[in-house]
Amino acid sequence: MIKDYLRKNISRTIEQSLGLTIDPSEIGLEKPKQEGHGDWSTNIALNLSKSLKENPRKLADKITASLKLDQELVSNVEVAGPGFINFKLASGWLYSELVTLLDKKNSFGCCDHGKGEKVQVEFVSVNPTGPLHVGHGRGAFVGDAIARLLQCVGYDVHREYYINDAGNQIDKLGRSVLARLNQIWNRPFEFPEGGYQGEYLKDFAAQLNSEQGDRLKALSSDELLTEVTRISRDGMLDNLKLSLKDLKVEFDEWFSEVSLVESGAIKNSLDQLNQKGYLYDQDGAQFFKASEFGDEKDRVVIKSTGEHTYFAADIAYMQNKFQRGFQRLIYVWGADHHGDIPRMKGAAQALGHDPDSLEFILMQMVRLIEEGREVKFSKRSGVIVTLDELRDEVGPDVMRYFFLMRRSESQFDFDLDLARKHSDENPVFYVQYAHARICSIIDHAREKGIARVKSDLALLKEKEEINLIKALLEFPEVVLGAALAREPHRLPTYLQDLAGVFHTFYHQHRVVTDDAGLTQARLDLCDAARIVFANGLSLLGVSAPEKM
């Protein structure tokens, strides 16, 4: 990757000529604002000038004079302005890399950077007590995209959904459904305090009565509650799985909290902490010394009632992940869980793990906007709009792309009016249309009887052609950067820009021309663009249609 190559050489040159050690990752490389100033530019001389008390322009000259770059990769290096160092890529390198792109096809953009490292990504993990709403969608799509990106750059990735099925919520779910059943059966019923009131629950109870009503009525009251709770939990979980599968979000494992209780994992983890001196008893409860690890206060793990807390289960689940051999744990959580991070990292450290091996990606809120106003409630049920309803309204591709367009840590407004548009104004259609247009160009050449033969890519000399080649070759670095930073939003940004570069090329130049050699070269350039659009959309879980 050219940026890595430049950074490493700049770093080595600075160490040899100036006696300074600088990590290559700290050397910034940006595209120059003026087209004539090369392909990449660094301001490293400006950054070092203050500490070295030297004129930045002279410092840049000194670095440039000592730089030893392969001229087959970089054709020119020059100093500009107050001390910028600009690099121009060699045309021969661009053409050879374009050949590599065409050869790699579906694997272009991927690498083995993370080879040998096992990573677990846990995301969504919503209580199985009702349908997924729009807010859950962001975590689902971001978690899935991070997993896809990490897999692409070589990590051994395991996707996991943690089922919170051992707490009071499941009991409330069972009692809520039972109340609705008793209502249908004209039996006395008492709706549980804090129970689930949604229309979806009435529908679920009605269906359950239709399918198993006679069998359930025959059970004793205790048996009935146990059975209804089990059926409700399993039914809600099945609905969650179906909703996510329809949105191309799938998991390697659905991990049950109940399994932690039944296996004794929670007790074992707390025993380990106790033996290490990190637990103490107070007022009938048991506390973890979280304050010793930077948390604002110590945290309860066992309540005075003898029940374990969510935190205790989270500790056991984390320990279980490490026991299964995962070296890095990525949690995709809602922003409201930010206060849980210090205690989780503290528990990891107390159990002998590197706290930095735990990563937390926090999702900010999503607002649905229609005609300039926020939409909170479904017209049918009066509850928060579900993911299924939004999917039916705009389609899974639009949903995924829109949710992934912005940084996860920033609040996101989902523009329903824009999402419904089937035009270039809609960002996902703009990118998908670029892919479809390329497929149409290639089909047109085939229909004209143009046989594909090895082309001379050196015939691609026009500014728009070179700009498109350069943009395509940035893809592997965009993918790796997005994967390592856990920032999938970089990909839609890149694809949007790439679509603009391609459309500019298309509007300026005919692909199928009277010049057979140029036609072959431009068809290969189009094919390369098709590959990158398809690979980029695939990493987002978005389709790449051949016709629109």
Q: How far apart are CA 13 and CA 16, in angstroms?
A: 5
Q: Is 149 exposed, middle or buried (0-12, 13-18, 19+ CB in 10 A)?
A: buried
Say which CATH number the domain at 21 has: 3.30.1360.70
Return the axis-axis angle of helices 310-323 and 341-350, rounded to nearest 10°. 50
CB 518 within 8 A of CB 462: no
Among 190, 220, 246, give the residue marking a domain's end. Answer: 246
pLDDT digits (tens, 9 = 90+) for 60-109: 999 999 899 888 899 999 999 899 999 999 999 999 999 999 999 999 99
Asked if 263 and 357 sit in the same domain, the reply is yes
Asked if 155 and 287 sit in the same domain, the reply is yes
Tally Cβ neighbours within 10 Å of residue 453: 9
Asked if 155 and 282 sit in the same domain, the reply is yes
The closest alpha carbon to 162, from 326, 332, 18, belongs to 332
Q: How far apart are CA 32 and CA 42, in angstroms?
A: 9
pLDDT digits (tens, 9 = 90+) for 491-518: 999 999 999 999 999 999 999 999 999 9
Report if residue 411 sits inside a domain: no
Sign of dihedral through CA atoms 305, 310, 311, 316?
positive
Report if residue 396 sits inside a domain: no
Asked if 160 and 176 sit in the same domain, the reply is no
Q: How far apart are CA 421 and CA 433, in angstroms?
A: 13
pLDDT digits (tens, 9 = 90+) for 324-377: 999 999 999 999 999 999 999 999 999 999 999 999 999 999 999 999 999 875
The alpha-helical segments, DSSP class H, found in 288-412 are 310-323, 341-350, 387-394, 396-403
pLDDT of residue 70: 87
For tokens 């090369």, name the residue.
38
Q: Is 115 exposed, middle or buried (0-12, 13-18, 19+ CB in 10 A)?
A: exposed
Amino acid at 388: D
Output the six-digit token pair for 520.
């072959």
pLDDT digits (tens, 9 = 90+) for 458-497: 999 999 999 999 999 999 999 999 999 999 999 999 999 9
Q: How far apart are CA 292 and CA 399, in angstroms?
A: 43
pLDDT digits (tens, 9 = 90+) for 314-323: 999 999 999 9
The closest alpha carbon to 502, from 527, 539, 537, belongs to 527
Beta-strand pair 156-163/118-122 = parallel
Mean pLDDT of the chain: 94
pLDDT of residue 433: 97
Count of the separate structural domains present in the chain: 4
For tokens 């700009």, name the residue.
467
pLDDT of residue 379: 47
Amino acid at 336: D
CB 225 within 8 A of CB 178: yes
Asked if 459 and 524 sit in the same domain, the reply is yes
Asked if 213 and 321 sit in the same domain, the reply is no
Among 195, 227, 246, give the residue marking a domain's end. Answer: 246
Report if residue 15 sits inside a domain: yes
Q: Summarize the confidence of residues 6-13 as an average pLDDT.
A: 93
Q: How far apart are CA 302 and CA 378, in angstroms?
A: 39
CB 512 within 8 A of CB 520: no
Among 203, 229, 246, give the residue marking a domain's end. Answer: 246
Asked if 102 and 214 sit in the same domain, the reply is no
Backbone angles phi, psi at 158, to 5 degrees: -125, 120
CB 545 within 8 A of CB 436: yes
CB 204 within 8 A of CB 177: yes
Q: Which helix (H) or strand (E) holds 158?
A: strand 156-163
Q: What angle do CA 198, 202, 207 make, to 5 degrees?
A: 140
Say which CATH number the domain at 332 has: 3.40.50.620
pLDDT of residue 119: 99
Residue span of the structural domain in which 342 resides: 122-165+250-363
Asked if 452 and 480 sit in the same domain, the reply is yes
Asked if 218 and 260 sit in the same domain, the reply is no
Say which CATH number the domain at 441 has: 1.10.730.10
Output the six-digit token pair for 224.
């009935």
pLDDT of residue 36: 80
pLDDT exceeding 90 applies to what percent of the chain? Answer: 86
Q: How far apart are CA 251 and CA 458, in angstroms?
A: 45
